[in-house]
Amino acid sequence: MEFILLDYTTLRVIWWLLLGILLIGFAVMDGFDLGVGTLLPFVAKTDEERRLVINTIGPVWEGNQVWLVLGGGAIFAAWPPLYAVSFSGFYLAMFLILFALILRPVGFKYRSKLPSQRWRNNWDKALFVGGFIPALIMGVAVGNVLLGVPYHFDDTQRVFYTGNLLGLLTPFALLAGLVSVAMLVSHGAAMLVLKTSGPVAERSAKIGSIAAIASFVLFALAGAWVAFGLPGYQITSQVVTDGASNPLLKTAEFSAAGGWLHNYSTMPATILAPVVGLLGALASAVLLRKRRGGLAFLASGASIAGIILTVGFAIFPFLLPSSTSPGSSLTLWDASSSHLTLWVMLLATGLFLPIIIAYTSWVYRVMKGKTTLEEMGENPNAY
């Protein structure tokens, strides 16, 4: 159609980049909420301190989850086979994540409804679970993407998943999960140092700096594992970038250990992603030690972006490799929606994404400044 100005290949690459941006947006914006929830039992010792921690994210956590909705919606609309395989194959893992995420709003709303300390302690545990479990399982999912997932298509493109929940919990996948937890805990700690003062900020700075160093070490260890002990995947047939979305039209196979690093030699600029991931974690640790919450938050956010981009650049053009049938692996060249669908969605995204960013920026501008016990006491809407 003449009004479609961008070719199919370009649209597929644009939507691959947009998916990465949405995942980074979720990890940075909702990631500090998850990190704060995970830190709650460790940085706040009294009921007042726990209320203080909760109120640092209370006004914004719901808006931050928009990025999760956008990411899921983008996968559903732009990459239907990816949505079908991942959401069915990772069904139990997704259920755990959703269960934990559901605990968060319930915990926020119900925690202070009764003065009972036992009641509040139980909801504090729920908020911890609502932060820790999604952070861990999402990292485990990314680890399994690098390992490959056990699924295949038949001749009619029906998908068959042959794995199970316990099969996802391999040593490398758990390492990836720990990377996720460490980076989000340091990110949440930076937000607490930025938004609070006194004992809560001091404890957050100490724990956050340790988490940032752990993020650096674990990410480096995972990189070494990928380089020397983890096979990659490669397409062995002709690569058709503007053809029909049918993963069975290609052939693929395992590559030798370190195969996921191939793109870094052919596209040298991509090496900036892991460098930013590592240096951002170190900078966050140093800045947290100096109680520079705002700069530490930017550094940890940059580290998160670098870590996510590292994975994206490494597996390009794969979206979800298959460990049992490499030829069934989904790539951005054979798992997208139609040309017209991608174009219409791009127009809608160009209209609404800036509105979301502008609204989010306005909310954070209104809510800037530290959260204090005095402010909580004067505000009837405080948690």
What is the per-residue pLDDT across 41-74, written as a single tens digit (0 to 9) for each?
A: 999 999 999 999 998 988 888 888 888 888 888 8
Q: Which of 122-131, 166-175, 222-231, 360-369 has the lowest mean pLDDT?
A: 360-369
The ranges assigned to domains in the chain are 21-378
Confidence check: pLDDT of 353 > 90: no
pLDDT digits 0-9 by tens, 108-141: 888 888 888 999 999 999 999 999 999 999 999 9
Confidence check: pLDDT of 3 > 60: no
- Of the two residues 382 and 323, the one the predictor is more confident about is 323
Q: Is the dihedral of CA 38, 43, 49, 52 positive or negative?
A: negative
The answer to whether the CB of 310 falls within 8 A of the CB of 264 is no
Distance CA 368, CA 362 (A): 10
Confidence check: pLDDT of 97 > 50: yes
- The reported pLDDT for the residue numbered 221 is 97
- The reported pLDDT for the residue numbered 189 is 97
For the chain, strand residue ranges (E) read 151-153, 159-161, 231-235, 252-257, 318-320, 330-331
Confidence check: pLDDT of 2 > 60: no
Torsion of CA 317, 321, 325, 331, to 10 degrees: -30
Q: What is the mean pLDDT of residues 77-93?
A: 88
- The reported pLDDT for the residue numbered 381 is 65
- Of the two residues 12 and 379, the one the predictor is more confident about is 12
Rg, Å, the chain Cα set: 21
Confidence check: pLDDT of 1 > 50: no
Considering the chain, what is the average pLDDT of its residues? 91
Q: pTM for the complete prediction?
A: 0.93
- The reported pLDDT for the residue numbered 6 is 87
Q: What is the mean pLDDT of residues 282-300?
A: 95
Report the share of the chain in percent with pLDDT over 70: 98
**In b/e form, how buried is each residue of 65-98, taking b as 16+ CB within 10 angstroms?**
bbbbebbeebbebbbbbbbbbbeebbeebbebbe
Residue type, 256: A
- The reported pLDDT for the residue numbered 301 is 96
3-state secondary structure of 379: coil
The answer to whether the CB of 49 falls within 8 A of the CB of 200 is yes
- The reported pLDDT for the residue numbered 376 is 74
Distance CA 321, CA 14 (A): 20
Q: What is the mean pLDDT of residues 215-236?
A: 94
The answer to whether the CB of 185 falls within 8 A of the CB of 207 is yes
Band (352; pLDDT cuts 50, 70, 90):
confident
- The reported pLDDT for the residue numbered 4 is 57
- The reported pLDDT for the residue numbered 227 is 92
- The reported pLDDT for the residue numbered 380 is 65
